Amino acid sequence: MAKSWKEARECAERDCLPQVYHDCDDDTYGACKIGESQGSFKDGVFVEHRCICMPASFNPDELEAKEKKFRQENPGW
């Protein structure tokens, strides 16, 4: 798990993963495969979290700007 877009990109590079994400429900960041769901198990049932996923090729400033724009365009998401 990472604490920022910058750390998520470092994870993606280290693990050769194509995407980075911000898990908005747990407020964590990370790297993942395309189509990989993020979430947790509750009472044996997988609960998918709301995540913002983007290509790991974007730099941290681009990732932050795109997330900010998404949140402005989708208040309450």
> Looking at the 3D structure of the chain, how many domains does it have?
1
Rounded to whole angstroms, how far apart are CA atoms 33 and 13? 12
pTM score: 0.89
Does residue 26 contact residue 51 with C-beta atoms inside 8 Å?
A: no
Which positions ≥6 away from 49 have C-beta within 8 Å? 23, 24, 25, 26, 38, 39, 40
Could you list the residue range(s) of the whole structural domain that residue 55 is in? 5-73
pLDDT per position in the chain (77 positions), as tens?
A: 899 999 999 999 999 999 999 999 999 999 999 999 999 899 999 999 999 999 999 999 999 999 999 999 999 88
